[in-house]
Amino acid sequence: MEKIYSIITLCFLIISCSSDDNTTTELVSKPTINNISTNSASIGDIIIINGKNFNPNETYIVKFNEIKGRITEITSTQLKVEVPENATSGKIILIYKGEKVNVGNLEVTIELINKLYGYVAYDKLVELNIDDGSELSTIATIGSDYLSDIVYSKNTNEIIGQTSVSNPNTGNNTYYYHKIDITTGQISKNTYPGYESLVITDSGKLYGYVAYDKLVELNINDGSELSTIATIGSDYLSDIVYLKNTNEIIGQISVSNPNTGNNTYYYYKIDITTRKTSKNTYAGYESLITAGE
């Protein structure tokens, strides 16, 4: 009886050890992420996901905001992935055996070198030859309503603007938020409050100026109001531009003196991060232009 008991016990130990070994193997084979090679890339660039336990014989999926990228190389410590067309800024997700892992965030920059567009009033948006301004092709037909306050979103490769339609019976205006996808030419629009001017930042944040009142942040998807950035007051803010280096919106205010008829001009700055405003008198100009990265 003792011999039989010993044999049974030994078998149990062997089985137990075998089970533990399998569990260890599964843990080792699961990939882990250390970092990504860059936080910013353009369409077609190769980014590197650094980690360990990658297997060249396994199947991995990498998505950029739900757009699948092409994996170009797999080693035990790296996955190399091409940023796919139509990718947008946001999360990179690695999918392995049905499990999703957040790899990190990537800013996708869309390079449109030597691309110039023109708006034909009450008609269409066209691409122009940047050398001589000649018309190359029609991007989208806007229609008979006038598209104003046009800005470009590099993150989504869209041209954004607004139209205003007057009701002849009431005299009231209905405002429409327009988005034009430059890649596909598709147009989307929806009603929204309408703003005196629109300004967009390099990071894709959109702001609207409510005349004689305030500056607000807008949802870039539909133009809905998110929050008030700053209260400007009853003076009209004009020539609004965005300064990337300081993350400020800049404009100017003109105040007329009723006694002399002369104007006093104010240089106005709004810090988007702190939501603080500052102003000082200055010469005043017909328009303001920013340049540089």
More confident residue, 8 or 98: 98
| pLDDT band, very low/low/confident/very high, at 113 (cuts 50, 70, 90) | low
Task: Say if residues 182 and 176 touch (Cβ distance below 8 Å).
Answer: no
- Domain closes at, from 76, 109, 142: 109
pLDDT for 222 beyond 90: yes
Q: Residue 135 pairs with which residues in a beta bridge?
A: 128
| pLDDT band, very low/low/confident/very high, at 2 (cuts 50, 70, 90) | very low
**What total number of domains does the chain contain?**
3
Q: What percent of the chain has pLDDT over 90?
A: 73
DSSP designation for 293: -
- Domain closes at, from 109, 132, 162: 109
**Could you tell me if residue 82 is inside a domain?**
yes
Provide the mean pLDDT of the chain: 87
Model pLDDT, residue 293: 55
Model pLDDT, residue 204: 87
Provide the residue range defining the domain that includes 283.
205-214+229-293
- Residue 231: alpha-carbon gap to chain centroid: 25
Residue with tokens 């001017």: 197
* Residue 40 and residue 105 in one domain: yes
| pLDDT band, very low/low/confident/very high, at 247 (cuts 50, 70, 90) | very high
**Could you tell me if residue 151 is inside a domain?**
no
Rounded-to-integer distance, Cα 146 and Cα 223, Å: 18
* Residue 1 and residue 35 in one domain: no
**Could you tell me if residue 135 is inside a domain?**
no
* Residue 9 and residue 63 in one domain: no
What average pLDDT does this structure show over 168-178? 93
pLDDT in tens, 32-60: 999 999 999 988 899 999 999 999 999 99
Rounded-to-integer distance, Cα 282 and Cα 285, Å: 9
Lowest mean pLDDT across 25-29, 46-50, 216-220: 25-29
